[in-house]
């Protein structure tokens, strides 16, 4: 039944009060008399039933869903910042336990030790993966975490110019630019770096607050930014490294070992499904000396009055929650349940399992890249990559992807979709192959792409 909290008497009283000066409104329709008649819907919408029972509604929406080409029912090679990985059933089982699913704020440590402990373990895992010294209890996602990293760098350096790599994900770039517009800092973006040849060192000057790079880049290129880090530090700037595919850290050199000052990752790949775009979980790590400028929550380890191990929120100021205009950051929460899923999955894998997962990803992508590069007029743009790479096609990529979708093959992301209006990327196609890729998917993709081209 619908929930109708108002009685007829309630409605009459409300109508009389609303129109008290003019004798009261006689009906709900009178409340809309200022809306021109031609702007009102005069009849029911054709084709929509008055109501259906729950079972009928469920069947109707299952029919709608069946029209979609989903990762579960088709060969899937889409990446570009969100990746399909296998999530063990244990992860969902654990995070749906009542004590995890219903817990929220850990402000009262005496009753939230479980929540605080798993967040502490999460932070520890993030520091180990990134090669950094301290991590927070998570951000909403990688993209908003990246904009928070720039704001943090501005506070540390007391400068207001951020250099954004042409290999940075376009959506991350746009979020940083939007934040800069309203927060009063300048974001200078490089041209799309499809070839992986960008050199940012010459652009770093004494006004630069930070340089934001991505590894692997949006186009899949793998770089070592150690030399860039040295150049940034010589100029008094910080290096921010963004990682959208966190599984890559199972094989690649950690950003901390390259000299990064702040590392931001999208953690969706571990423990969290694609979910039509969210919710995801942002990882944020930095150096000890910058810890007090770090946004978000930080869980610390302590001892109680009896000397027993315990956990608390630490280095958290009242401004973070109350006087927002004085806050280091206005993010006052974290993606707790998604962070827990990340921690459970990574714990199940262990160090050896995580490395093996990364090896599988790279092997699958290498196999696919070799097969696609063997097609006539298809050029692989990457000398190095992890599980994602870019190919140049002999024709625009967007209609090719649409044609393959009609064959129920999800063949990657046309770069033009994320960089609209840039003719230089019109023929570029971004493909990802994770451990879920199979010969039953790769074979049809290669054959169908050859046919469409």
Residue ranges of domains in the chain, CATH in brackets? 89-345 (3.40.640.10), 350-452 (3.90.1150.10)
- Neighbour-count burial for 107-116, b at 16+ CB within 10 Å, e otherwise: eebeebeebb
The pLDDT tens digits of the residues spanning 127-139 come to 999 999 999 999 9
pLDDT (tens digit, 9 = 90+) per residue, 307-330?
Answer: 999 999 998 766 666 777 777 787
pLDDT greater than 90 at residue 333 = no
Ramachandran class of 138: left when φ > 0, alpha when ψ lies in -120 to 50, beta otherwise = left
What three-state secondary structure class fits 313? strand
Handedness of CA 225, 227, 229, 235 (dihedral sign): negative
Three-state SS at 425: helix
| 50, two tokens | 């008055």
DSSP string for 30-65: GGGTTS-GGGS--SPPTT--S---HHHHHHHHHHHH
Triad 406, 417, 215: Cα angle to 5°: 115
pLDDT attached to residue 71: 87
Is cis: bond before 279, omega within 30 of 0? yes
Average pLDDT, the chain: 93
Return the structure tokens found at 134.
């301290």
Residue 413 CB neighbour total at 10 angstroms: 24
Q: What is the mean pLDDT of residues 82-97?
A: 96
In this prediction, residues 47-63 reach a mean pLDDT of 86
- Write the pLDDT tens digit of every residue in 234-260: 999 999 999 999 999 999 999 999 999
pLDDT at 319: 63
For 12-35, the pLDDT digits (tens) are 888 888 876 666 777 888 888 889
For the cut 90, the answer to whether the pLDDT of residue 4 exceeds it is no
pLDDT at position 318: 65
Q: Count the Cβ atoms, other than its own, within 10 Å of residue 16.
A: 13
CA distance 89 to 394: 42
Residue 1: pLDDT band (50, 70, 90) is very low
Q: Residue 436 — very low, low, confident or very high, per pLDDT cuts 50/70/90?
A: very high
Overall average pLDDT of the 344-349 stretch: 98
At 125-171, the pLDDT tens digits run 999 999 999 999 999 999 999 999 999 999 999 999 999 999 999 99
Which of 32-46, 227-241, 302-316, 404-418 comes out lowest in average pLDDT?
Answer: 32-46
Q: Yes or no: say if 207 and 235 are a contact pair by the CB < 8 Å rule.
A: no
393: pLDDT strictly greater than 70: yes
As a dihedral over the C-alpha atoms of residue 166, residue 296, residue 347, residue 362, rounded to 10 degrees, the angle is 0
Q: Does residue 18 or residue 441 have the better pLDDT?
A: 441
Percent of the chain with pLDDT over 70: 96
Average of per-residue pLDDT across 49-75 = 87
Alpha-carbon gap, residue 340 to 93, rounded angstroms: 12
How high is the pLDDT of residue 6? 82
Please provide the DSSP assignment of 316-334 as one string.
--GGGTS-GGG-S-S----
Alpha carbon distance, N-terminus to C-terminus of the chain: 55
Please determine, for residue 214, whether its predicted confidence score (pLDDT) is greater than 90: yes
Phi first, then psi, for residue 37 (nearest 5°) are -60, -35
| Residues facing 193 on adjacent strands | none
Nearest to 407 by CA among 434, 443, 437, 375: 443
Phi then psi dihedrals of residue 148, to 5 deg: -65, -35
Rounded Cα–Cα distance for residues 267 and 261 (Å): 19
Mean pLDDT over 276-304 rounds to: 94
- Distances from the Cα of 115 to the Cα of 43, 100, 229, 302, 384, angstroms: 53, 7, 36, 15, 40
Mean pLDDT of 92-119: 87
Q: Which two tokens stand for residue 194?
A: 């499809």
């Amino acid at each position: 039944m619908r929930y109708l909290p108002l009685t007829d008497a309630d409605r009459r009283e409300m109508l009389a009060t609303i129109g008290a000066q003019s004798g009261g409104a006689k009906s709900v329709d009178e409340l809309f008399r200022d809306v021109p008649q031609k702007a009102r819907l005069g009849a029911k919408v054709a084709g929509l039933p008055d109501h259906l029972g729950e079972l009928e509604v469920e069947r109707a929406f299952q029919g709608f869903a069946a029209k979609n080409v989903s990762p579960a029912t088709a060969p899937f090679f889409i990446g570009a910042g969100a990746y399909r990985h296998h999530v063990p059933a244990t992860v969902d089982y654990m995070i749906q336990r009542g004590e995890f699913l219903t817990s929220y704020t850990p402000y009262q440590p005496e009753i939230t030790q479980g929540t605080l402990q798993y967040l502490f373990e999460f932070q520890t895992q993030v520091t180990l993966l990134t090669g950094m010294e301290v991590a927070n209890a998570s951000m909403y996602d990688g993209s908003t975490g990246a904009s928070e990293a720039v704001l943090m760098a501005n506070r540390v350096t007391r400068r207001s110019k951020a250099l954004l790599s042409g290999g940075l994900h376009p959506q991350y770039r746009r979020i940083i630019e939007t934040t800069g517009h309203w927060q009063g800092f300048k974001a200078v973006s490089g041209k799309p770096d499809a070839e992986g040849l960008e050199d940012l060192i010459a652009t770093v000057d004494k006004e630069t607050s930070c340089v934001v790079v991505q590894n692997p880049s949006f186009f899949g290129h793998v770089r070592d930014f150690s030399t860039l880090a040295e150049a940034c530090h010589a100029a008094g700037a910080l290096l921010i490294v963004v990682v959208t595919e966190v599984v890559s850290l199972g094989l690649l050199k950690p950003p901390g070992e390259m000299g990064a000052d702040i590392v931001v990752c999208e953690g969706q790949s571990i423990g969290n499904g694609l979910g039509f775009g969210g919710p995801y979980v942002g990882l944020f790590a930095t150096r000890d000396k910058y810890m007090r400028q770090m946004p978000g929550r930080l869980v610390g380890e302590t001892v109680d009055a009896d000397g027993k191990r315990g956990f608390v929120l630490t280095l958290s100021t009242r401004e973070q929650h109350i006087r927002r205009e004085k806050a280091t950051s206005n993010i006052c929460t974290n993606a707790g349940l998604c962070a827990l899923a990340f921690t459970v999955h990574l714990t199940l894998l262990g160090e050896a399992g995580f490395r093996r997962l990364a090896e599988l990803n790279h092997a699958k992508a290498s196999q696919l890249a070799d097969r696609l590069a063997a097609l006539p007029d298809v050029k692989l743009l990457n000398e190095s990559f992890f599980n994602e790479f870019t190919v140049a096609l002999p024709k625009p990529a967007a209609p090719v992807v649409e044609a393959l979708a009609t064959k129920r093959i999800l063949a990657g992301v046309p770069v033009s979709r994320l960089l609209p209006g840039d003719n230089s990327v019109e023929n570029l196609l971004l493909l990802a192959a994770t451990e879920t890729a199979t010969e039953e998917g790769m074979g049809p993709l290669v054959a169908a792409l050859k046919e469409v081209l």
